[in-house]
Amino acid sequence: MIMKPIDTAQIQALDSAHFLHPFTDFRDLASRGARVMTRAEDIYVWDSEGNRFLDAMSGLWCVNVGYGRKELADAAHHQMMTLAYYNSFFQTTNVPAVQLAAKLAELAPNVGERSFQHVFYSSSGSESNDSNVRMARRYWDLLGQPQRKVIISRLNSYHGSTMAGASLGGMSGMHAQGDLPIPNITHIGQPYYFENGLPGESALEFGSRAAGWLESKILQVGAGNVAAFIAEPIQGAGGVIIPPATYWPEIQRIVDKYGILLISDEVICAFGRLGNWFGYEKFGYKPDLVTFAKAVTSGYIPLGGVMVGDRVAKVLIEKGGEFNHGYTYSGHPVACAVALANLDIMERERLPQRVGNEVGPYLARCFEDISRHPLVGSAESCGFMAGIILLRNKERSEPFAEGLSVGMICRGHCLRNGLIMRAVGDRMIIAPPLTMTHIQIDEMVSLILYCLDLTYQDVKTKGWLA
């Protein structure tokens, strides 16, 4: 196929004339011009200037099966020609939406007595978390406890960008714009040992203490006023914050003690990312609601939703009365057909198992090597999600001064050398496609080490090391 060359400058000019990008300083972007991505295959993405990048972020934590999967395009094409759209309001349904709901119910493991037999659809993670807030409050209303409205979340968590999503999220920059959080949403600290552990405290001791912040908050708000606690199994956008092993069991004990709903936001962690179908399996806790989006279609088409556990579904269904909530695209037939084809690939290629038993442990061993780099305080991974802390002094665990943006310097080296790795402050993070071969992992790790070397040289020259 002969591709028509793309006029980068022209696209950039049109981009800055007409396209307001998410989470972007518009003036800054207009002054430099956006990078124009034009095509992708497997784990690589190309820009309009012909540069190739190894995409260690799977797009934005979503392209779990890799790029260029013809089966997904075929599924979309076939469904568009069969039934491109019909709504699921007014006592109507469609075949792919039903089949996908049944498939998700089959894949979601029972933990203890709880299982997930029902799905509520949306088109994104943000919308799904809005649905969670609506559903959790409706649940308590139907049980005659309408005062249970408060949702407890965590600082530095990410739950989306709508009014409820951004309120649930614990990003101060987002709260600062638009009068957030909305009422009845409150936050506790995150289980980040490196930042919040006390001198002499082990990671395991810290994990229990951090979970204890939930109990303190419940008592402060009044147990009878709390509807739910929402958390990501591992905080993704916050910088891949992996909780100590003691954290989730203690959270489970606390939510059980006070009877509050547990919402597991698995927009990033589900569909193989941690080596299981769902993240709660990895940590062994029992959520009542599970948010999903992104990798349910490997990002090929927007789709999100909430897995509704039996505890909540039973009340919503048996008590009756209309749930006044839903979206035009709830159960979109094309998105659901693509999701079915995507889950089929994941099952056939055993991607969750592969990450859990094979390539995940291999990546973890590579990260042990990375942790020995002089710029790196710690490098840890869980499944196919990993984070690296860049430090000014490795022995004394001393961070760089705020504002030096060492993470951004490292990210710049990565881009110039054909690697997409994110910087969250001075934490470098990756979440690569689950299809990566050992050779591709080696290629990624060599690039990471090379870019860490370049960054180390830079900060040394600038005299920023201690």
Taking CB under 6 A as the rule, does residue 155 contact ligand PXG?
Answer: no
CB nearer to ligand PXG: pick between 234 and 459? 234
Q: Which helix (H) or strand (E) holds 116?
A: strand 116-122
Site for ligand PXG in 392-421 (CB under 6 A): none
CB nearer to ligand PXG: pick between 157 and 440? 157
466, burial (CB in 10 Å: exposed 0-12, middle 13-18, buried 19+): exposed
14, burial (CB in 10 Å: exposed 0-12, middle 13-18, buried 19+): exposed
Partners of 47 in the β-ladder:
37
CB nearer to ligand PXG: pick between 140 and 292? 292
Taking CB under 6 A as the rule, does residue 158 contact ligand PXG?
Answer: yes
Q: Among 154, 159, 217, 373, indicate the residue that binds ligand PXG (CB under 6 A).
A: 159
Nearest distance from residue 232's CB to ligand PXG, in Å? 5
Q: Give the end-to-end CA distance of the chain in Å, rounded to a whole number.
A: 54
How many residues touch ligand PXG (CB under 6 A)?
16
The b/e string for 108-138 (b: 16+ C-beta within 10 A; e otherwise) is beebeebbbbbbbbbbbbbbbbbbbbbbbbb
| C-alpha–C-alpha distance, residues 405 and 337, integer Å | 43
Taking CB under 6 A as the rule, does residue 385 contact ligand PXG?
Answer: no
CB nearer to ligand PXG: pick between 16 and 123? 123
Nearest distance from residue 160's CB to ligand PXG, in Å? 4
Contact 185, 163 (CB under 8 A): no
Going by C-alpha positions, the residue among 241, 183, 181, 249 that lies closest to residue 214 is 249
The b/e string for 399-423 (b: 16+ C-beta within 10 A; e otherwise) is bbeeeeebbebbbbbbeeeebbbbb
CB nearer to ligand PXG: pick between 165 and 197? 165
Contact 128, 122 (CB under 8 A): yes
x/- map, 32-61, ligand PXG, by CB under 6 A? ----------------------------x-
Contact 42, 318 (CB under 8 A): no
| C-alpha–C-alpha distance, residues 296 and 294, integer Å | 6
Site for ligand PXG in 203-262 (CB under 6 A): 232, 236-237
Per-residue tokens: 117? 């037999």
Taking CB under 6 A as the rule, does residue 160 contact ligand PXG?
Answer: yes
**Closest chain position to ligand PXG (CB):** 125
Nearest distance from residue 424's CB to ligand PXG, in Å? 7
Nearest distance from residue 108's CB to ligand PXG, in Å? 17
| C-alpha–C-alpha distance, residues 244 and 199, integer Å | 16
CB nearer to ligand PXG: pick between 64 and 129? 129
| C-alpha–C-alpha distance, residues 274 and 242, integer Å | 11
Site for ligand PXG in 111-130 (CB under 6 A): 124-126, 129
For the chain, the residue count is 466
Q: Among 265, 281, 288, 426, indicate the residue that binds ligand PXG (CB under 6 A).
A: 265
Nearest distance from residue 415's CB to ligand PXG, in Å? 16
Nearest distance from residue 40's CB to ligand PXG, in Å? 18
Site for ligand PXG in 282-321 (CB under 6 A): 293, 304
Nearest distance from residue 158's CB to ligand PXG, in Å? 5
CB nearer to ligand PXG: pick between 209 and 298? 298
Nearest distance from residue 65's CB to ligand PXG, in Å? 18
Q: Residues interacting with ligand PXG, by CB under 6 A?
A: 60, 124-126, 129, 158-160, 232, 236-237, 265, 267-268, 293, 304
